């Protein structure tokens, strides 16, 4: 794979060996939680029946819903120029990149390359990735205050779990993550729909400051992407936006319903809708975590934040939640690491093999 010596390839950050670290971190946290909190008596409350098989099947089905929503959306954003197979490959590679990089970093530059190498022009690829990011953040911006209004702030944050762990302090993380997302959406909306060149000019002014200068070139590229994306989306009509928003809703809502189904496979849940709402809050909190894919933090926060909704004796809730956290990450996270390890080397060989350049 040839690289421009003056501009480091975005693929340089993608190393298959990095897939091992989030697995070790996540398993380490779950192992510690089980060691500290697990009580064999929790199995007395485990119910395994045909209903368990049904809910395990539903958990897998919801994961398919998550991926199908993403695949439908990227086909819509590409004007159906991407085939189903191409869309699947892009989504798996994109999810793999997100899984091995911190949530706050993401893989936008690499995602543009994934789309571009499937035969989409660079400008159109930038627009697709920019709109994907915009729709994802818009889901959180709309759903977070709506769910707070429906379930109540106290039910989301005023929680005391086994051992006196008070989850109310997590509200700070949620609000920081939410306002970061809100600021991003507002700035991106201004650039995409109102004044793209003005936003690029502002970014260039800000990142000329001495302590921000190292990111000047990256911001220049982002500003250019926003201008190109703004030109692309001017021709989109109502049907396009409806399909894009509906597929986004399908994907993210399916993602959160996986945990509901997993818990129902073995235990009862005291409040299904509240469990759904807390997962959205949890995902917002993961934005500020430095670990790849939020590994470690995701397992810990799920165990402590959602344990009181599992209908078992209080002394067993954390142990039951740790078991579910292990299954939850096993279904929603680790498969993308495996898929990336299988697909990424073949993709590199196909696109950057002998005689080909980035």
List b or e across 116-139, with b for residues whose CB sees 16 or more CB atoms inside 10 angstroms: bbbebeebbbbbbbbbbbbbbbbb
Residue 9, SS3 per DSSP? coil
pLDDT of residue 89: 94
Q: Where are the domains of the chain?
A: 23-349
Phi, psi (deg, nearest 5) at residue 135: -65, -40
**CA pair distance 195, 298, nearest whole angstrom:** 37
C-alpha count within 13 angstroms, C-beta hemisphere, residue 213: 4
pLDDT of residue 45: 63
Burial of 44 (0-12, 13-18, 19+ CB in 10 A): exposed
DSSP symbol at 192: I
**Residue appearing with tokens 């039910």:** 155
Q: What is the dihedral of CA 163, 169, 173, 178, to 10 degrees?
A: 120
Contact indicator for 181, 140 with CB cutoff of 8 Å: yes
What residues are paired with 310 via a beta bridge?
269
Contact indicator for 274, 159 with CB cutoff of 8 Å: no
Residue 357, SS3 per DSSP? strand
DSSP 28-74: HHHHHHHHHH--GGGGGG---SHHHHHHHHHHHHHHHHHHHHHHHHH
**CA pair distance 289, 32, nearest whole angstrom:** 19
Residue 292, SS3 per DSSP? strand
Residue 18, both tokens: 């990095």
C-alpha count within 13 angstroms, C-beta hemisphere, residue 13: 17
pLDDT of residue 213: 78
**Could you report the average pLDDT of every consecutive run of 10 residues in the chain (358 residues)?**
46 60 66 63 69 92 94 94 94 86 62 88 82 92 92 78 57 82 89 86 83 78 81 83 95 92 88 90 74 71 82 77 84 85 85 60
């Amino acid at each position: 794979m040839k690289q421009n010596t003056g501009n480091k390839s975005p693929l340089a950050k993608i190393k298959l060996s990095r897939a091992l670290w989030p697995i070790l971190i996540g398993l380490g946290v779950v192992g510690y939680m089980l060691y500290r909190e697990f009580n064999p008596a929790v199995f007395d409350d485990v119910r395994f029946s045909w209903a368990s098989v049904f809910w395990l099947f539903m958990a897998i089905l919801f994961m398919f819903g998550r991926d199908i929503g993403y695949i439908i959306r990227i086909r819509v954003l590409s004007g159906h120029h991407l085939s189903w197979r191409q869309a699947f490959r892009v989504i798996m590679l994109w999810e793999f990149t997100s899984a091995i990089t911190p949530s706050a970093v993401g893989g936008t530059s690499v995602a543009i390359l994934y789309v571009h190498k499937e035969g989409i022009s660079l400008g159109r690829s930038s627009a697709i990735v920019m709109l994907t990011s915009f729709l994802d953040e818009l889901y959180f911006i709309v759903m977070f205050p709506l769910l707070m209004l429906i379930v109540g702030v106290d039910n989301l944050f005023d929680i005391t779990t086994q051992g006196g762990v008070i989850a109310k302090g997590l509200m700070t993380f949620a609000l920081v993550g939410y306002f970061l997302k809100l600021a991003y959406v507002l700035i991106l909306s201004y650039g995409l729909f109102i004044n793209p060149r003005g936003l690029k000019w502002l970014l260039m002014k800000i990142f000329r400051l001495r302590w921000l200068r190292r990111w000047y070139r990256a911001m220049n590229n982002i500003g250019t992407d926003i201008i190109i994306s703004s030109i692309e989306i001017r021709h989109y009509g109502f049907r396009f936006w409806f399909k894009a928003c509906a597929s986004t809703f399908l994907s993210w809502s399916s993602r959160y319903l996986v945990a509901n189904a997993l818990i129902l496979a073995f235990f009862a849940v005291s409040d299904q809708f509240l469990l759904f709402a807390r997962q959205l809050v949890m995902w917002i909190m993961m934005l500020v975590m430095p670990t790849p894919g939020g590994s470690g933090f995701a397992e810990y926060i799920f165990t402590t934040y959602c344990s009181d909704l599992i209908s078992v004796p209080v002394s067993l809730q954390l142990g039951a939640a740790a078991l579910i956290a292990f299954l939850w990450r096993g279904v929603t996270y680790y498969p993308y690491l495996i898929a990336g390890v299988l697909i990424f080397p073949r993709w590199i060989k196909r696109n950057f093999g002998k005689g080909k350049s980035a």
